[in-house]
Structure 1
Amino acid sequence: MKKHFVIRHGQKGNRLYICQHIMDGAEGDVVKITPPTRTLEQNSKLWPMLADVSKQVNWHGNKLTGDEWKDVFTAAIEKQKVVPGIDGGFVVCGAKTSQYSKPKFAEMIELIYAFGAQQSVVWSDPAERAA
């Protein structure tokens, strides 16, 4: 049975509770401690930004979708490997942003801001236009 626990800052009892579950675990159980993944706020910021870039930037003669731009930015963050496809073309071997930590996802957002500034993207979010 999977159990998920969140370690809360300043809650010693919470940590002891989690440690007790680890001590009670069966032989062969795996304990994985990971930083929190991206927030819903970060995720909801990403897609309008990708849509703005998609509408406004012509990339080497190509109009890319938001999903394709996400792949481009993810490849820039990860320094991903590109390999030939089975039937031609190329495949980017990469990571999923759903597994990004909050800091890594913030890095992605900052990369999109920087790229957008270079390409004179006008952000649809009024708060972004004022910044």
Structure 2
Amino acid sequence: MIGGNHPPEETPAPKVDGRVAIDTHVADLLHAMLSDISRAKPMGRNLKPEIWKCLFLDAMGHQANWVLSLDGDGVVNTGFRSSRLTVAEMSDMIESLYAFGAEHGVEWSEPAERHAA
């Protein structure tokens, strides 16, 4: 109804396989944070961001499955993917990354204003 005092209808969040799709900003934030952790080399661990992501997913109870790469020079995770996390799970993961980073002196590349929010 035009001109009425009705609140605008909310647009439902897009869904992928029954889960709320994570927006690009959140996915970019996750990958930036994982890169920051990787650069910091906490606990002397020189790991790629993808490996850190698997470690955090494992800490959340999502099992990783590793398969030898085609060239035999590494392994590939074929287990749970972060794109399958719910919004609440993604939020928990990002909070875990912030807590881990604070504990291990990680310097975040994202603007500091976001940490205060």
Alignment of 1:5-20 (within 5 A): none
Q: Does 1:63 align with 2:40?
A: no
Higher helix share: 1
Distance verdict in 2 for CA 1:68–1:33, change over 3 Å: closer
Shift of 1:80: 3.0
> Hey, what does 1:46 align to over in structure 2?
30
Alignment coverage as a number of residue pairs: 100
The unaligned stretches of length 5 or more in structure 2 are 1-8, 69-74
| TM-score, structure 2 as length reference | 0.66
Percent of residue pairs identical: 32
Distance 2:94 2:113 in 1: 12
Verify the 8 A CA contact 1:81 1:92 in the aligned structure 2.
yes
Alignment of 1:27-106 (within 5 A): 34-59=18-43, 61-78=44-61, 80=63, 94-106=79-91
Shift of 1:101: 1.3
| TM-score, structure 1 as length reference | 0.60
The unaligned stretches of length 5 or more in structure 1 are 1-8, 12-31
Distance 2:17 2:31 in 1: 28
> Which structure: larger Rg?
1
